[in-house]
Amino acid sequence: MRSKISAFGVHAVLTAYTFLAVAPILLVVMNSFKSRAAIFGAPVAPPSAATFSLIGYNKALGAAHVGWLFFNSIVVTLVSMGFVLLLGAMAAWALTEYKFRGSTLLALFLSIGVMVPIRLGSIAILTMMRNAHLNDTLIALILVYVAQGLPLSIFILSEFVEQIPKDLRDAARCDGVPETRIFFEVIAPLLRPAIATVAVFTIVPIWNDLWFPLILTSSDTTHTITLGVQQFLGQYVTDWNAVLAALSLAIVPVVVIYVIFSRQLIRGVTAGAVK
């Protein structure tokens, strides 16, 4: 009886947390298919035959630069994720495989990036990008996001690299395999669960970020979708149909990526739990 009560309590807490996390997203999606009057008249009610409307999606998809905004977000997110995974895996391999004087201090220095928010250096980053003539470019966003994602990537991947048996590496070295091939053909395939975990943890903050596109980009050709939604927000009048529709469309890529990597993500998160 005590174990059943404990299990019921755990499931009750998890159910309540799931509801709190999912409810705002469901409200956004539901209200994106409703008329403006229905949004304010019954915000928690699902769309009905009388309140159903696609005017928000027509405005969002018909607005200028919306397709370009999605393209910018996809390019910045995918390129940043690629560099974070590649450089993070290589750095994790180097820190765990090759011990040298100062490697512990270097690992500690990299871990500080997990604890210190990168937004604290916004002014220095903005000045640096202006001096390098990279302001109002997608390259500036990519560089910032790579620097933001690398510490967590190295921290997670290092733990996984340490769990790989050294006999695999030694056997490859005895066969005369170069270090680069050992990394890409022996180590990297075994890191797929960890790479999927890092990929999801990297994609979501980049895709949802509003701060750095706001301070590093100034033209419509370099804005991301998260910042581009602001064009529907006015000082006196806000087109809530278009705002909610644009936000609903922005959710779709992240959900698709999560569905694709869900199995690897769960394996990566739970790996090492018994240890």
Mean pLDDT over residues 40-45, rounded?
84
The residues facing 34 across adjacent strands are 52
Cα separation of 106 and 132, whole Å?
Answer: 27
Is a pLDDT exceeding 90 seen at residue 16?
Answer: yes
Within 8 A by CB and 6+ apart from 231, the residues are: 63
Q: Which of 139, 155, 143, 183 is nearest to 88 (CA)?
A: 155
Task: Tell whether the model's pLDDT for residue 274 goes beyond 50.
Answer: no
What is the average per-residue pLDDT within 8-17?
91
Q: How far is CA 209 from CA 42, 94, 141, 163, 223, in A?
A: 30, 30, 10, 33, 11
The tens digit of pLDDT for each residue in 59-110 reads 777 765 777 888 899 999 999 999 999 999 988 888 888 777 777 787 778 7
Residues of the chain above pLDDT 70, percent: 91
Flag whether pLDDT at 169 surpasses 90: no
The domain locations on the chain are 1-53, 59-270
Over its C-alpha atoms, the chain yields an Rg (Å, rounded) of 23
pLDDT tier for residue 163 given thresholds of 50, 70 and 90: confident
Extract the tokens encoding 160.
């996984």
Residue 124 in this model has a pLDDT that exceeds 80 = yes
3-state secondary structure of 165: coil
Q: What pLDDT shows up at residue 144?
A: 94
Q: Give CATH superfamily name and number for 59-270.
A: MetI-like (1.10.3720.10)
Between these two residues, 97 and 263, which has the higher pLDDT value? 97
pLDDT score, position 135: 87
Phi, psi of 63 (to 5 degrees): -70, 155
111: closest CA among 69, 158, 65? 158
Cα(35)–Cα(189) distance, integer angstroms: 50
Contact 206, 253 (CB under 8 A): no
- According to the model, what pLDDT value does residue 275 have? 40
- The predicted structure's pLDDT at residue 64: 55
Query: 34 — alpha (psi -120 to 50), left (phi > 0) or beta?
Result: beta
pLDDT band at residue 212 under the 50/70/90 scheme: very high
Residue 34 main-chain phi, psi, to 5 deg? -120, 160
User: For residue range 213-239, what is the model confidence (pLDDT) as tens digits?
Assistant: 989 988 878 888 888 777 666 655 677
Round to whole Å and give the CA distance between 84 and 153: 7
DSSP H helical ranges for 42-137: 55-62, 66-97, 103-115, 122-131
